[in-house]
Amino acid sequence: MRTLPERWLQGAYQGSRWLSLLRPLGALYQWAMARREQAYRSGSKATWKAPVPVIVVGNITLGGTGKSPLVAWLASWLVAQGWSPGIVSRGYGGKAPRYPLLVTAASNVAESGDEPLMLAQQTGLPVVADPQRVRGAQALVEQGCDIILSDDGLQHLALARDIELVVVDGARGLGNGRCLPAGPLRESPTRLQRVDTVITNGDFQPPLPVDSMLMPPVTTMQLAPLGWRRLADGERFPLSPLPFTLPVHAVAGIGHPQRFFQTLSALGVEGEWHPLADHQQFSADALSFAEARPVIMTAKDAVKCCTLAPPNSWVLDVEATLPPEFEHWLAARLSALS
pLDDT tens digits, 257-315: 999 999 999 999 999 999 988 778 888 887 889 899 999 999 999 999 998 999 999 99
DSSP H stretches of helix in the chain: 4-7, 23-42, 67-80, 109-112, 114-123, 133-142, 257-266, 299-305, 324-337
Look at residues 273, 269, 272, 275 and name the one whose alpha carbon lies nearest to residue 245. Answer: 269
Asked whether 327 and 231 are in contact (CB, 8 A), the reply is: no
Residue, of 57 and 24, whose pLDDT is higher: 57
Three-state SS for 23?
helix
Looking at residue 11, its pLDDT comes to 44
Return the percentage of the chain with pLDDT > 70, whole number. 92
Looking at residue 301, its pLDDT comes to 95
Segment 219-229 mean pLDDT: 96
Looking at residue 296, its pLDDT comes to 98
pLDDT band at 215 (very low <50, low <70, confident <90, very high): confident
Looking at residue 160, its pLDDT comes to 97
Lowest mean pLDDT across 34-38, 130-134, 208-212, 236-240: 208-212
Asked whether 121 and 303 are in contact (CB, 8 A), the reply is: yes
pLDDT band at 26 (very low <50, low <70, confident <90, very high): confident
pLDDT band at 12 (very low <50, low <70, confident <90, very high): very low
Which residues fall within 8 angstroms of residue 175, CB to CB, at 6 or more apart? 8, 9, 11, 13, 14, 61, 183, 184, 185
Look at residues 194, 243, 258 and name the one whose alpha carbon lies nearest to residue 34. Answer: 194
Three-state SS for 334?
helix
Three-state SS for 228?
strand
Q: Which domains does the chain have, with CATH numbers?
A: 4-221+323-337 (3.40.50.300), 223-321 (no CATH)
Asked whether 127 and 89 are in contact (CB, 8 A), the reply is: yes
**What span, in angstroms and rounded, lies between the C-alpha atoms of 280 and 114?**
10
Give the count of beta carbons closer than 10 Å to the beta carbon of residue 46: 10
Looking at residue 285, its pLDDT comes to 82
76 backbone φψ class: left, alpha, beta (φ>0; ψ -120 to 50): alpha
Looking at residue 2, its pLDDT comes to 31
**What span, in angstroms and rounded, lies between the C-alpha atoms of 174 and 264?**
25
Looking at residue 212, its pLDDT comes to 59
Return the percentage of the chain with pLDDT > 90, whole number. 74
Segment 94-105 mean pLDDT: 97
Looking at residue 16, its pLDDT comes to 59
What interhelical angle do 114-123 and 67-80 show, nearest 10?
Answer: 30
Looking at residue 213, its pLDDT comes to 55
**pTM of the complete model beyond 0.75:** yes
Phi (first) and psi of residue 119, to 5 degrees? -65, -40
Look at residues 211, 242, 209 and name the one whose alpha carbon lies nearest to residue 225. Answer: 242
Sequence letter at residue 288: S
Looking at residue 10, its pLDDT comes to 40
Tell me the pLDDT tens digit for each residue of 103-135: 999 999 999 999 999 999 999 999 999 999 999
Segment 207-232 mean pLDDT: 83
